[in-house]
């Protein structure tokens, strides 16, 4: 593991929450996208402790440090760098997983995130396209790449990560992308049921996380951009019943539950994980 990257070193060694269930994913092959940081890393850490064999995918090479840290704890973890905004990248990730393990039992699609924060009339057309490319296509392409493997196996679970920001200020393109993730979930669940495949999603609200090693986009510049971003923060908190952001573990827990056999009679649903904000 990279000794010169204390943030990643800390991430790999962080203590597990008390609520994890040892052995829940024993003999399961789980592919997690966006696994280098944030919610994806929290899911990887928890699901590794529950016995899964992992495929960790990210566009950042930091994912290799995460995998190395887990392997040091006797976890089977393959790491893959790929651009999931393209079908070629998604297919490469799935191919690597199947080559290594022979199958994918669970796919957790976690890639996405707001790039800009501003009223819709201030978005340039190319910015709108980039938001959709970032937060819709990685899920769409990964589902397309992995679904045939699950159909051949006659089983599988896909957990997508949408957002309650489908109803929120200053993020219309991102809202459109995450609304698309929710639609993919409900529509693909109808197709998957006949093949023994469940497709579910969570819709996270605002989530506290360490500073990102790889930034989603430019930081707000100038007083106006900072004010627009503050509107997002204020609206996010005001929309929750609990009046706070969630934690990474509070997001990872529901994702891991939905991925598990305990949720075997749940498909086509999107669970809001946002302190009472339903989006």
Tell me if 243 sits within 8 A of 237, measured CB to CB.
Answer: yes
118-150 pLDDT, tens digit per residue, is 999 999 999 999 999 999 999 999 999 999 999
Euclidean distance between CA atoms 196 and 150, whole angstroms:
9
Euclidean distance between CA atoms 30 and 272, whole angstroms:
22
pLDDT at 7: 45
Tell me the percentage of the chain whose pLDDT exceeds 70.
92
Check pLDDT > 70 for residue 106: yes
- What global pTM score does this model have? 0.93
Bridge partners, 124 (sequence order): none
pLDDT at 1: 43
C-alpha distances (whole Å) from 11 to each of 1, 35, 46, 196 are 11, 11, 12, 35
pLDDT at 20: 74
Check pLDDT > 70 for residue 50: yes
Does the CA dihedral 161-167-171-174 come out positive or negative?
A: positive
How far apart, in Å, do the first and last CA atoms of the chain sit? Answer: 39
What mean pLDDT is predicted for residues 21-48? 95
Euclidean distance between CA atoms 202 and 181, whole angstroms:
10
Bridge partners, 30 (sequence order): 54, 106
What mean pLDDT is predicted for residues 103-112? 98
Name the band, by pLDDT with cuts 50, 70 and 90, for residue 3: very low
The chain-wide mean pLDDT, for the chain, equals 93
In order, the DSSP letters of 202-232 are EEE--B--PPPSS-SSPPP-HHHHHHHHHHH
Look at 4-13, 57-66, 168-177 and tell me which has the smallest mean pLDDT. Answer: 4-13
Check pLDDT > 80 for residue 19: no
Burial 68-107 (b: 16+ CB within 10 A, else e): ebbbeeebbbbbbbbebbeeebbbbbbebbbeebeebbbb
Euclidean distance between CA atoms 169 and 159, whole angstroms:
26
Check pLDDT > 60 for residue 59: yes
Check pLDDT > 90 for residue 8: no
- Give the residue among 58, 144, 158 at the shortest CA–CA distance from 105: 158
Name the band, by pLDDT with cuts 50, 70 and 90, for residue 218: confident
pLDDT at 30: 98
* 27 CB-near residues (< 8 Å, 6+ apart): 51, 53
pLDDT at 9: 54
Catalytic residues: 174
Check pLDDT > 50 for residue 277: yes
Tell me if 67 sits within 8 A of 77, measured CB to CB.
Answer: yes
pLDDT at 211: 77
Name the band, by pLDDT with cuts 50, 70 and 90, for residue 220: confident
| Domains located in the chain, CATH noted | 20-273 (3.40.50.720)
Check pLDDT > 50 for residue 100: yes
Token digits of residue 61:
């090479």
């Amino acid at each position: 593991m990279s000794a010169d990257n204390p943030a990643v070193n800390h991430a790999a060694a962080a203590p597990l929450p008390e609520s994890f269930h040892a052995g829940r994913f024993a003999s399961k092959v789980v592919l997690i996208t966006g696994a280098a940081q944030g919610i994806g890393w929290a899911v990887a850490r928890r699901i590794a402790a529950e016995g899964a064999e992992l495929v960790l995918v990210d566009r950042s090479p930091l994912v290799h440090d995460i995998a190395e840290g887990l392997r040091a704890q006797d976890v089977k973890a393959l790491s893959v760098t790929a651009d999931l905004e393209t079908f070629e990248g998604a297919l490469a990730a799935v191919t690597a997983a199947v080559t290594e393990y022979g199958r994918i039992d669970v796919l957790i699609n976690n890639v996405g995130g707001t790039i800009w924060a501003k009223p819709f009339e201030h978005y340039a057309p190319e910015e709108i396209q980039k938001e959709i490319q970032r937060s819709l296509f990685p899920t769409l392409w990964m589902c397309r790449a992995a679904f045939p493997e699950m159909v051949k196996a006659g089983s599988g679970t896909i957990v997508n990560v949408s957002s309650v920001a489908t109803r929120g200020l200053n993020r219309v393109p991102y809202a459109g992308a995450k609304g698309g993730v929710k639609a993919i979930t409900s529509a693909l669940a109808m197709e998957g049921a006949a093949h023994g495949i469940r497709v579910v999603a969570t819709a996270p609200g605002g989530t506290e996380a360490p500073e990102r090693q790889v930034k989603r986009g430019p930081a707000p510049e100038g007083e106006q951009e900072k004010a627009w971003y503050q509107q997002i923060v204020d609206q996010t908190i005001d929309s929750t019943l609990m009046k706070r952001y969630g934690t990474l573990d509070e997001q990872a827990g529901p994702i891991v539950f939905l991925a598990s056999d305990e949720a075997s009679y749940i498909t086509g649903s999107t669970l809001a994980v946002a302190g009472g904000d339903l989006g």
